Structure 1
């Protein structure tokens, strides 16, 4: 089949953005040249991987996989479908995963069910946004019903309103301040519209979400409304017992992505204790996605089983480290946003380092020193670009409060133009790491 590029379509918007050696190879290139180029790509991938393992990542929406959890992604199961969740001997339409299917149906389900204290666990979403789409589609009710979410200006997810509209529901937003939903504003919506679902999608916050107050408001004014908590950012803190379980606070269901504070693969998960809600979710999931990325689901199961052992200590240390890192950055003269109880109640820290040029310059200097930060421009209550930092990945790797002190020193060195010194301190910080919150290699897992 002739490619789009070979038909002469205009791709001027991509000019200058792809290195010459990475562009499509003309047919006249020899097999030997083609092979050399591919091996060059392989070397670059390995080199980049090695640099990543040495770098310190402070991106709050990312984490790493343990060696054990990473294993399925390197094996043949990455290429396979798996649909026979009931192990029906007459339903093996795809047999590639038959020999290890129990790692999904038993290990992943049982571990995540125990961690969430939820009988019903849906492992099919392939990302946090996929979980959002399934939850809203499944629990949104009849076409024309109102679905309420959090105003993006208050920390809500950027895509939620659009997803609500695309499924034929009517979106309404409520504001959040210091983790508390505007209950008066919510009450007005509940008493004036047919609200089928309240989707609490707080992603950018230094505070924990007050789910109980929202559940109480629904119980009084709209008891038929379902309450879903998108806990993508705090999922590891919830499953590790550091943050209250939304189901205990009155939520109908909760879930989100599995690669932020939870150290799993890029997937999503949904939890509920209610059979009819589980059915709504499963019916929507059945038609909204086909492959649920079998190998990633196996990886999620292994990560969850490890998390049963390491999770509580890890989740506790994530918050301890975030609070200490905020304090140390402030000591170094950085403008660190504060919440009611200090610098943060979770894994996130927000740091205003100046205008866009200054912010990008410092981000680049830190990257050169081996420290990766996340720049955001739409944080609640802040104007302009800021660093949105997270202590989740470095904590998973073993970072302690001592490590936080050193990393703050590295930030200061990079700010002051001493990139080489920042890199040396970064190396010292990594050497200060204690035992990671996972089994170091697959051999030790038995």
Structure 2
């Protein structure tokens, strides 16, 4: 390979994916020219371990100010008490959050992969990595909604065990295939009465949640909300954790981010994320409403064309995703 071939492949990708494709991968979005411009900066060359103004490196005066202000901006947009922007992906955010919430050896109630759950929620991913033993949420007959009564019964049954390994320590809501909101509000009282912690993985729906659509996890009972920053939220690729924890517990959770699972946290993401957050404040709600409207219209058109689109009895979708039975 030589430089000409590298440049040729980059140009081919730009032409193919930006100009010739209908991109239907729900995990992807594109950023604005303003975000792109902020992303390509000197920060991509620099290190800044730790928290703003408490770094383990010198030369961080500008990233300290920028990261602190971007964090405050994220707290406003997400309506969260605290936010940590340092996880470099949604899965890294999950590892840190689960390392704080999950008691090693305990059960973790999450969405099965076959029911749309993310791989980081199962034994091969972040849940297993921190010592949790995943148990699948009971699902309704349509397979896209949780069975609230059966879930509460399962939590209460497991809470009676004297063996800590048979008790549920943590509930993880959120999916990769995520058509409809999940019943955090209905399940949270029973979960908390049984001593369970609650997290919500908002990776796919962060932009909808921030816009006041879909659901409001931190007000419905979730203590932590993890996410990537590049799906329905149109920022650069990266991750975050939003929190409603006390200051003491939040400090412990942040220690799982650094030094737990990050060192340098790819600083060039931060100014790009700041621009995306400012854009979201300006037109994010309108954008999110149109995303859902587009998904519903797409599902309806596919159904009328003869495809077996899932969830028709529920309006097909309340997110950016459409599921087809093939």
Q: Same fold judged by TM-score > 0.5?
A: yes
Secondary structure of 2:51's counterpart equals coil
Displacement of 1:146 after TM fit? Answer: 2.8
For structure 2, which runs of at least 5 residues remain unmatched after alignment? Answer: none
The one of 238, 244, 257 aligned to 1:267: 238
Secondary structure of 1:328's counterpart equals helix
Secondary structure of 2:222's counterpart equals coil
The one of 221, 234, 252 aligned to 2:223: 252
Q: Which structure: larger Rg?
A: 1
Q: Is the 8 A contact 1:62 1:260 kept in 2?
A: yes
For structure 1, which runs of at least 5 residues remain unmatched after alignment? Answer: 1-21, 23-36, 353-385, 387-446
Displacement of 1:261 after TM fit? Answer: 0.9
Displacement of 1:52 after TM fit? Answer: 2.3
Q: CA RMSD in A?
A: 2.0
Aligned equivalents of 2:92, 2:72: Cα separation in 1: 22
TM-score, reference length from structure 2:
0.88
> When the two structures are aligned, how many residues end up with a matched partner?
311
Aligned equivalents of 2:200, 2:223: Cα separation in 1: 8
The one of 160, 165, 180 aligned to 1:191: 160
**Alignment match, 1:389:** none
**Alignment match, 1:52:** 17
Secondary structure of 1:294's counterpart equals coil
The one of 132, 136, 148 aligned to 2:109: 148
Displacement of 1:340 after TM fit? Answer: 3.8
Secondary structure of 1:228's counterpart equals strand
* More contact order relative to length (CA 8 Å, sep ≥ 6): 2
Aligned 1:194-273 pairs, distance under 5 A: 194-220=167-193, 222=194, 224-273=195-244
Q: Is the 8 A contact 1:206 1:339 kept in 2?
A: no
**Alignment match, 2:265:** 292
> Does structure 1 residue 120 correspond to structure 2 residue 52?
no
**Alignment match, 2:58:** 94
Aligned equivalents of 1:238, 1:166: Cα separation in 2: 28
Deviation per CA, 1:89-120: give whole Å up to 9, x if none.
Answer: xx57231x4335422210x2122101111121
Displacement of 1:50 after TM fit? Answer: 3.0
User: Which deviates more from structure 2 when the two are superposed, residues 128-137 or residues 325-334?
Assistant: 325-334
The one of 289, 310, 326 aligned to 2:299: 326
The one of 128, 132, 138 aligned to 1:169: 132
Displacement of 1:339 after TM fit? Answer: 4.5
Aligned equivalents of 1:111, 1:50: Cα separation in 2: 34
Aligned equivalents of 1:160, 1:207: Cα separation in 2: 18
> Does structure 1 residue 337 correspond to structure 2 residue 310?
yes
Deviation per CA, 1:205-244: give whole Å up to 9, x if none.
Answer: 3221111112122134x1x321001111111100111122
Displacement of 1:155 after TM fit? Answer: 1.7
Q: Is the 8 A contact 1:236 1:260 kept in 2?
A: yes
**Alignment match, 1:429:** none
Deviation per CA, 1:128-178: give whole Å up to 9, x if none.
Answer: 11111111111113x333332222222211232223233233333323333
